[in-house]
Amino acid sequence: MTRIPLLLAPFLLAGCGQAVAERAVPIPASRTDVPAAAGQQVAVLAGGCFWGMEAVFENLKGVRAVTAGYAGGTRATATYDAVSTERTRHAEAIRITYDPRVVSYATLLRVYFSVAHDPTQLNRQGPDTGPSYRSAIFPQSPQQRAVATAYIAQLNAARAYPARLVTTVEGGAFFPAEAYHQDFFRKNPSHPYIVRWDKPKVAAFRAGFPKLAV
């Protein structure tokens, strides 16, 4: 896991990388969805640094809570220091608690693929590299697994991106990250990483999905 050094922040702020989500990618909606059920549901998604992922979904109507953390992996626990070694196979991820009567699982996936990250990047997002930054979905039910798998195939068949999606559908537990990682975007709006990589992503979501934004 390689995080951008703060010493490089001025150079990155002056540049313009393709990984910055300046606009939502226009992709079709999923043809399938998880049937709406009573009560809140949970989705777990990984797509690079969890700071920006968390920020995007906190702006989505129907989302009740977003927790930054780690998913998958080969160990029964996860910490930032351990995951940073790239030896545990965990991915930085977010756990989304949502109301399916307001926002569906398929809609979460559409935002995820369109603007929350670049699903064609293998083991990296923006300046961050390593398997912990991979694009991965961790279904919480057989229905979620079926919808996620079908949507990946649909987007590849539609050639929605210039390259094939590398997103994997995996199993494994979710472990909440340390307290200082939670709500990092909201608590640190002037942080160089947030300004360079995550504010454009949130702006792209709000511009691309105005009816879904809170």
Q: Which residues are catalytic?
A: 49
How far is residue 148 from each of residues 90, 91, 128, 137, 178, measured CA to CA in Å?
19, 17, 25, 7, 28
3-state class of 213 per DSSP? strand
How do strand 124-125 and strand 128-129 relate by DSSP bridges?
antiparallel
Distance CA 67, CA 174 (A): 10
Q: Which residues contact 154 (CB under 8 A, 6 or more apart)?
A: 28, 30, 31
